[in-house]
Amino acid sequence: MKVAIFGTGYVGLVTGTCLAEIGHDVTCVDVDTAKIDGLKRGVLPIYEPGLEPLVVNNHRAGRLHFTTDAATAISGNEIIFIAVGTPPDEDGSADLKYVVEVARTIGRHLQTPAIVVNKSTVPVGTAGLVNDAIARELEARGASIDFEVVSNPEFLKEGAAVEDCMHPDRIVIGARDEKAVESLKKLYGPFVRNHDRFVVMDVASAELTKYAANAMLATKISFMNEIANIAERVGADVEMVRQGIGSDPRIGWQFIYPGAGYGGSCFPKDVQALTRTAQQHGYQPQLLNAVEEVNERQKSHLFELIKRHYGDSLAGKTFAVWGLAFKPNTDDMRAASSRRLMEHLWDAGAKVKAFDPEAAKEARRIYGNRKDLQVCDAMDDALEGADALVVVTEWRQFRSPDLKALKAALGDAVVFDGRNLYSPKDMEDAGLAYYGIGRGRSI
């Protein structure tokens, strides 16, 4: 099938590439010329495991095209995806200006009937706005062309996006029109050949499903962070508690890891946007408010532990920070807990030596050449001359450090473990002062 995808961010680029991989003819469109030129040369704007060879191979095979020319992209394509960003605006609502702009562009250039698929995370009611924007542009040029707007939210995780796209656990389709549903089933069919993973529903329910999924996952994390905070006060170990509850299938093992708070481009923004939607409809969502509040507090928790250890004497100290990305296997630092931590440390007059396997470039881009930040090329380099180590992201290579070397390298022999990677007993045996999240009395 012939497909156009507006937006070459995580969602658009991964979806487009995977659709090309299963044999569709895909054109990815973006307004960013540098991005599109880079993609044509095989230079990806993001780091995502397994994506680069797929982009290069499918581009070479002539199934994956990149362009800034919206008119060419729209012409003759039967399915047009909108996968542009919906950043939060000032009050936390999703800002739909990019989505609506793409809708207008589609309306201006549409020549043949098409299904317009909303893949961006958009509040309930957006399909209607997209529909109206396209219809207005068609009317303005006196054209009458059939089109149908469908909601098809994306559930891929950064760091595992290609795998998630190739093997989706469900494909939610919100549509009024049976023919549009059948087209999308045909498009995605090869991903789900042996299982019926399509969940078909009305448009509003599909739009809300996306927010409900992310809000539920964020709720699990904030819940565990709350339990961790209680554990610290009552002298319990939240890691034991986690193991004690995860085997109950009603609770499940996933997303019950306490830590430095959830970050990324999705949970913080989507919890806020769902809260605003509820409020706009006259409902005060108490649980969602609490999920966000707990997370905001949790993002400062590592710094609170550091302050508790050092009191007010942080000025002049140097902290090695392992992990800058908001989670492993990505270079994305949007709403990353590392940022909150470093900013607190800098405000207190401390210095940071940071290492991340993928996010070094991004950190340099965000923070420029600050004197109190040194971005290191190796995890051991970050330890040199540091007083303490703070682990913020659970990259695999941080899991079994040489504890003797850690003890020797760190001036104050203190480890703050924001992801509970280490055993408190091993740390104690190695002579390192250890602070985890929710692991016994640290308050």
Annotated binding site: 30, 35, 86, 121, 155-158, 210, 255-259, 263, 269, 327, 334
Q: Which is nearer to ligand UGA, 217 or 390 (CB)?
A: 217
Minimum Å distance from CB 132 to ligand UGA? Answer: 25
Write down the least CB distance from residue 37 to ligand UGA, Å: 26
Nearer to ligand UGA, 255 or 310 (CB): 255
Q: Please state, in angstroms and rounded to a whole number, the distance separating the CA atoms of residues 134 and 138.
A: 6
Specify the residue, 85 or 107, whose C-beta has the smaller distance to ligand UGA: 85
* Min CB(264)–ligand UGA separation in Å: 4
Q: How far is the CB of 43 from ligand UGA (least distance, A)?
A: 22
Structure tokens at 198: 């399509």
Amino acid, single-letter form, for residue 276: R
- Residues 352 and 342: beta-carbon distance below 8 Å: yes
Map the chain to HEC letters: CEEEEECCCHHHHHHHHHHHHCCCEEEEECCCHHHHHHHHCCCCCCCCCCHHHHHHHHHHCCCEEEECCHHHHHCCCCEEEECCCCCECCCCCECCHHHHHHHHHHHHHCCCCEEEEECCCCCCCHHHHHHHHHHHHHHHCCCCCCEEEEECCCCCCCCCHHHHHHCCCCEEEECCCHHHHHHHHHHHHHHHCCCCCEEEECHHHHHHHHHHHHHHHHHHHHHHHHHHHHHHHHCCEHHHHHHHHHCCCCCCCCCCCCCCCCCCCCHHHHHHHHHHHHHHCCCCCHHHHHHHHHHHHHHCHHHHHHHHHHCCCCCCCEEEEECCCCCCCCCCCCCCHHHHHHHHHHHCCCEEEEECCCCHHHHHHHHCCCCCEEECCCHHHHHCCCCEEEECCCCHHHCCCCHHHHHHHCCCCEEEECCCCCCHHHHHHCCCEEECCCECCCC
Q: Distance (Å, rounded) from C-alpha 184 to C-alpha 119?
A: 12
Complex with ligand UGA: residue 158 or 331, whichever CB lies closer: 158
What is the smallest separation between the CB atom of 36 and ligand UGA, expressed in angstroms? Answer: 22
The annotated binding site for substrate is made up of 155-158, 210, 255-259, 263, 327
Q: Which of 18, 28, 266, 376 is catalytic?
A: 266
User: Each residue of 250-265: b (16+ CB within 10 Å) or e?
Assistant: eeeeeebbbbbbbbbb
Closer Cβ to ligand UGA, 295 or 442, answer by number: 295
Residue with Cβ nearer ligand UGA (156 or 379): 156
**18 in catalytic set:** no
Residue (70 or 172) nearer to ligand UGA, CB: 172
Sign of torsion, CA 409 413 416 419? Answer: positive
Shortest distance, position 126 Cβ to ligand UGA, whole Å? 15
156 or 171: whose CB is closer to ligand UGA?
Answer: 156
By the criterion CB under 6 A, which residues form the site for ligand UGA? 121, 154-158, 214, 217, 221, 255-257, 259, 262-264, 266-267, 326-327
Parallel, antiparallel, or unpaired for β 388-391 and 414-417? parallel
Q: How far is residue 170's CA from residue 200's CA, in Å, rounded to a whole number?
A: 10
For the annotated catalytic residues, the residue numbers are: 266
